[in-house]
Amino acid sequence: MPQVQLYDTTLRDGAQQEGISFSVADKLKIAKRLDELGMHFIEGGWPGANPKDTEFFIKAHDLNFKHSVLVAFGSTKHPDSKVDKDANLRALVEARAKVVTIVGKSWGLQVTQILEISLEDNLSIISESVGYLKSKGLTVFFDAEHFFDGYKANPDYALQTIEAASKSGADCVVLCDTNGGALPSEVATAIEAVRRATAVPLGIHAHNDAELAVANSLTAVQAGVVQVQGTINGYGERCGNANLCSIIPALKLKLGIDCISDEQLAKLTEVSHYVDELANLAPASHLPYVGASAFSHKAGLHVSGLMKWEESYQHINPELVGNRPKVVVSELSGKGNIIYKARELGVALPPKGKQARQILEQIKLLESRGFQYEGADASFELLLHRAQPEYKPPFELIDFMVLVERHRRLPAHGSESELLSEATVKVKIGDRVIHTAAEGNGPVNALDQALRKALLEFYPDLTEVELVDYKVRILEESAGTASQVRVLIESSNGQEQWRTVGSSTNIIEASWLALADSMEYWLMRQRETGKVI
């Protein structure tokens, strides 16, 4: 296999995804990370198209890339302008990037219906645009837009557009599946025809509308292209672009193409999540290679095999891409899941004996009652510790009571009535029984305040803990208000987050169970570090 060039267009094509709006500062930060990852080309945007992209190219010259080359993107000249007067081409030159990519039509219907010019005029536009940029000493890549659709409709004309670009000096012709509907077999057939027609290096730019962007990109590499374009996490318009976070490890680990170093590959998951953070998107857990669930194991049979041989249910070593295996505990688990997870959490649990089996049976019983431990590792860890004979909880609940009252208010105060929530809790800490009450803006908040009030005398550092997310799910919708509900609480001390779960037909009790677990988990962790006794 030949060396393959990686071309990232996250900052331009990826930014066209709904909900994404990178600032100039964001784009500069991402570009630095892409350089560290080993991208050969980083497409920074379309200079002249908007002030943000123009500013980016001005500031990007100070980045001092170690691995990457900055690329400016634009289009062929406007049909009505002269090549040396065309605003788009002039903006590309003024961007001072050493490499430019211009997009041009390769589908006859796009030429006649969208540009509204003749097929011959389009060929001239391609030739003149590429030739002009080459005359300025630039490396020029030509993106043949809608190439695979154009090839299916009129193979001869699609090939003529490629020939026009290559004869004018294009350094690489990139075949674009712009609508994302091509099949791998169609991609391979078209590339074979192009390779017979021209010796110019080829690239692939695939969109994911048929869920085939990665497959089409890898097929193209196997058919002989030497440049692969895509985006981090598959960002892009509609269904996205080819996902470089899947393509890179496939090239390196499956096809043996050493496109980046081993050290750079190990940063892949980190870069994926970093770009998500700057895009203000939650990382997609089920992305191949880099997702949090990419190497998760839930079935007991799988975990049992994994403990004996790590490759039994993993197609690669997760560490190669900076990820790690994850064992999920549920009613589908086997004893191996419990042992593996306990080992991961640093809890001593003998592989033989009844303890692991008893915990497993407890989990199955609790999940039949609505609990779910996949997303509540803190509650699961508490189960493990509570199963240890020497474990003593930092507090024990005796009882609680919650009142919700509606009070009438005078009209002068802006409302005819208001709701008041008050909670009373009784807990045992050591030999003392603490009985407290507190008000809140709702029953769960009142419970939270009352429990804290009881515990703070003994555990003053508990002020660091706050509830940051609260989710309720109705498990049996057909039962109406009598339904079983599950409450998932996420808590934080400002540095780390943990999740706990509760379930009941009473939403207050479900909330209390999750809330109490949240406090107990944090206090248990503090005890382990010697911060509380």
- Measured torsion, CA atoms of residues 141, 147, 150, 151, in degrees rounded to the nearest 10: 110
Q: Is the pLDDT of residue 414 over 70?
A: no
201 near 3, Cβ under 8 Å? Answer: no
In CATH, the number for domain 395-458 is 3.30.160
- Within 10 angstroms of residue 261's Cβ, the number of other Cβ atoms is 13
49-79 pLDDT per residue, tens: 889 999 999 999 888 999 999 999 999 999 9
Sign of CA dihedral 323, 328, 333, 334: positive
Q: Which helix (H) or strand (E) holds 111?
A: none
Q: What is the pLDDT of residue 528?
A: 73
Q: Shortest CA distance to 374 belongs to which of 428, 339, 328?
A: 328
CA separation, residue 467 to residues 71, 280, 449, 522 (Å): 45, 21, 11, 12
Contact partners, residue 7, CB within 8 Å, separation at least 6: 39, 40, 41, 43, 71, 141, 174, 203, 227, 228, 229, 230
Instruction: Collapse the DSSP code of 137 into the 3-class scheme (helix H, G, I; strand E, B; otherwise coil) and give the result.
Output: coil
Question: For residues 274 and 290, what is the distance between their CA atoms, to the nearest angstrom?
Answer: 12
CATH of domain 5-278: 3.20.20.70
Q: What is the pTM of this model?
A: 0.73
Domains 5-278 and 395-458 share a fold: no
462-483 pLDDT per residue, tens: 899 998 888 888 876 555 555 7
Q: For residues 147 and 406, give the distance between their C-alpha atoms in angstroms, rounded to a whole number.
A: 67
Tell me the DSSP string of 464-500.
G-EEEEEEEEES-GGGGGG--EEEEEEEE-SS-EEEE
Residue 48 three-state SS: coil
Sequence-distant (6+) residues with CB within 8 A of 183 are 210, 212, 216
How far apart, in whole angstroms, are the C-alpha atoms of residue 152 and residue 124? 22
Task: Name the more confident of 350 and 99.
Answer: 99
Q: What is the pLDDT of residues 8-40, one digit of tens each?
A: 999 999 999 999 999 999 999 999 999 999 999
By DSSP bridging, strand 432-440 and strand 417-429 are: antiparallel
Total Cβ atoms within 10 A of residue 163: 18
Is the pLDDT assigned to residue 442 strictly greater than 90? no
Amino acid 331: pLDDT: 47
Strand residues in 257-372 grouped as ranges (E): 296-297, 326-327
Distance, C-alpha 303 to centroid of its chain:
25
CA-to-CA distance for 133 and 90, rounded, in angstroms? Answer: 9
Task: Give me the DSSP letters along 358-407.
Answer: HHHHHHHHHHHTT---TT-HHHHHHHHHHTSTT---S-EEEEEEEEEEEE
Contacts of 107 (CB under 8 A, 6+ apart): 145, 146, 147, 149, 150, 153, 154, 158
- Percentages of the chain per state (helix, strand, coil), in multiples of 5: 45, 20, 35
pLDDT number for residue 415: 55
* Alpha-carbon torsion (257, 258, 260, 261), positive or negative: positive
Q: Is the pLDDT of residue 294 over 90?
A: no
For the segment 369-374, the average pLDDT, to the nearest whole number, is 72
Percent of all residues in the chain with a pLDDT value above 90, rounded to a whole number: 63
Instruction: Give 301-309's long-range contacts (Cβ < 8 A, gap of 24+).
Output: 301/334, 303/327, 303/333, 303/334, 303/336, 303/337, 303/340, 304/334, 304/335, 304/336, 306/336, 306/340, 307/336, 307/339, 307/340
Residue 156 structure tokens: 């001869």
Using one digit for the tens of pLDDT, what is the confidence trace for 206-258? 999 999 999 999 999 999 999 999 999 999 999 999 999 999 999 999 999 99
Beta carbons of 20 and 12 less than 8 angstroms apart: no
Cα separations (Å) of 127 from 20, 70, 158, 168, 525? 35, 24, 14, 5, 68
**406-418 average pLDDT score:** 61
Alpha-carbon distances of 89 from 44, 52, 75, 83, 118, rounded to whole Å: 16, 18, 8, 7, 21
Instruction: Give the C-alpha separation, 319 to 265, whole Å.
Output: 9
Which residue in the block uniquely carries the two structure tokens 């994994």?
Answer: 306
pLDDT confidence of residue 436:
93
Q: Which residues contact 503 (CB under 8 A, 6 or more apart)?
A: 366, 369, 370, 371, 372, 475, 484, 485, 486, 487, 510, 513
Question: Domain limits of the chain?
Answer: 5-278, 296-368, 395-458
- In 107-243, the DSSP E strands lie at 139-145, 172-177, 202-206, 227-230
Specify the residue for token string 């303890």.
355
Which pLDDT belongs to residue 306? 58
Asked if 207 and 234 count as a contact pair (C-beta separation under 8 A), the reply is no
Phi/psi-derived region of residue 45, left when phi > 0, alpha when psi is between -120 and 50, beta in every other case: left
- Kindly list the distances between the CA atom of residue 199 and the CA atoms of 159, 231, 322, in Å, as whole numbers in the listed order: 12, 27, 38
**Position with higher pLDDT, 55 vs 532:** 55
* Chain centre to alpha carbon of residue 216: 21
